[in-house]
Amino acid sequence: MSKILITAIITLSLGATGGYWFAQQTAANNMDAMSTSTETMTSDEEKPLFYRNPMNPAITSPVFTQDDMGMDYIAVYANDNNNNEPPGTVTIDPVVVQNIGVRTKVAQQKAIARTINALGHIDFNEEYLTRLHPKTSGWIGALKIDETGKRVDKNTILLSIYSPDLVAAQREFLVALKNWESVKANGGSKMQQSTQNIFNGALERLQLFDVPTHQIENLKKTKKIQKYLHIHSPFNGTVMNIGAREGQYVSPKDELYLIADLKRIWVHVEVYEDDLPWVKEGDEVEMRVRAAPGRLFKGKVRFIYPYLEGKTRTVRVRLEFNNTDLVLKPGMFANVLIKADPQKNAVVVPSEAIVRSGNREQVFVQRGPGKYEPREVILGLSSDGFTQIRTGLDVGERVVTSAVFLIDSESKLREATAKMMEITSDDGDMSDMDMGDLDMGEMDMGEMDMSGMEMDGLDMNDLNMGNMSNENDSKTSGANK
């Protein structure tokens, strides 16, 4: 019985010992596996090359730190410099794009022109302006049109006039007419020719006195002299001035009427000599007047005067506009915009998309969702909120039009970082240097430039200061002496 008990005790002891040993081995194996997995994960995770100051990319640190304002340094990774992307390309999270209000527009092709602003003065169109004078002296009979500002049509009777010269011309015409009619049927050929010439001369004299055709026909029909002859309007227009009244004696020097057709008017502007090379006859013009707020009038450049005003250094330019509703009045002032040097098929973008920095201009082109590439461009004309892109951009490419300067700031940081990474790859990476390996006893402090040394994270206990040379102190002491 005792032997059995002893055997059982020994068996239990061996089993417990074996189980404990097996458990220890299993735990050790599990720890090794976890360690190996951790090492694999650590090796697979991307390590930053260095950390840069969020406000100044030129300031870097081999370890994570913060600046004087408590802002975290930004980690820079190897894949930040993608060789397939132009330097300065920015990638932004879609949520950030929405938050900062990034908007884009497509570059389009349209007509654009150089804009020249000028102050215009509305005037009569001299091609449709008439000053009526009598062809002979006489007395005014009846004024048919006796109010200024009235609209008259072509051939409207303006007034009647009595003139002894006109009476004599009518009498001469009637005599010539009677002779011509008497010899026209049975006279000889020479007699007929002579009589006809006299008749034609008398008719021409009446016509030169501006006797209306209907009164000449009435004179032929009635064979009676008419005391008063009419003066008619030469075209459709507005009576601007009346220079005679009923019963007044007038002569050829007196102006009876001033009539202007205001449906087409002139506008004179003064263009500075610096802008003159761009202005050509036929250029389109836009005009606004205070008398018609919100309305835009369109016309053309009709004539450029061949002389320069010496005092103002300007050249007068004449513009022409339609004025069928007579809104534009001579004497008004107007704001004029001349569209000079037109470009018909120009590539244009909104002017707010242009980033001007120093001697270059650039836009940010959207290459994908949240990805924006800086593109240097050469600009042309600017007008109506659009700017012409001569080179650097194609029709259909999408450019950033809002939050441009935020993207530009980030782009410059990325570009500066990429350049620093290139320098680091060329000169060697100093971020892993162990300062404890430096023997400061052999350093000559007088020949070291300490202005650019980064002291963040430096452990002074790792420095061997025991053998440091005092040569620098002696040099300084000698200099002071």
pLDDT for the residue numbered 418: 66
How many CB atoms are located within 10 Å of the residue 387 CB? Answer: 22
In the sheet that holds 249-250, the strands lie side by side as 228-232, 157-162, 138-143, 249-250
What is the C-alpha radius of gyration for the chain, rounded to an integer number of angstroms? Answer: 50
The answer to whether residues 300 and 265 touch, using CB atoms and an 8 Å cutoff, is no
Report the pLDDT averaged over residues 279-299. 94
The confidence band for 57, taking pLDDT boundaries of 50, 70 and 90, is: low
The confidence band for 423, taking pLDDT boundaries of 50, 70 and 90, is: low
- Provide the token pair at 224: 């009676």
The confidence band for 159, taking pLDDT boundaries of 50, 70 and 90, is: very high
pLDDT at 448 over 60: no
pLDDT tens digits, 12-26: 454 444 444 444 544
pLDDT at 313 over 80: yes
CATH architecture classification, 103-125+262-402: Beta Barrel (2.40)
CA distances from 122 to 161, 244, 314 (A): 35, 28, 18
pLDDT at 341 over 70: yes
CA distances from 138 to 68, 160, 258 (A): 102, 10, 19
pLDDT for the residue numbered 91: 83
- CATH for 128-260 is 2.40.50.100
pLDDT for the residue numbered 31: 45
Which has more pLDDT, 398 or 190? 398
pLDDT at 440 over 50: no
The confidence band for 69, taking pLDDT boundaries of 50, 70 and 90, is: confident
Structure letter (DSSP) for residue 206: H
> Of all helices (H) and strands (E), which one includes residue 346?
strand 333-350
> Of all helices (H) and strands (E), which one includes residue 119?
strand 108-123
Q: What is the mean pLDDT of the chain?
A: 78
The answer to whether residues 53 and 70 touch, using CB atoms and an 8 Å cutoff, is no
pLDDT for the residue numbered 68: 84
Highest-confidence range of 1-15, 44-58, 121-135, 399-413, by mean pLDDT?
Answer: 121-135
Residue located via tokens 């200099």: 479
Report the pLDDT averaged over residues 314-322. 96
Question: 91-105, 400-414, 463-477: which has the minimum mean pLDDT?
Answer: 463-477
- Provide the token pair at 52: 């840069």
pLDDT at 331 over 50: yes
Say how far residue 118 (Cα) sits from the centre of its chain.
17
As a whole-number percent, the residues of the chain with pLDDT over 70 amount to: 74
The confidence band for 203, taking pLDDT boundaries of 50, 70 and 90, is: very high
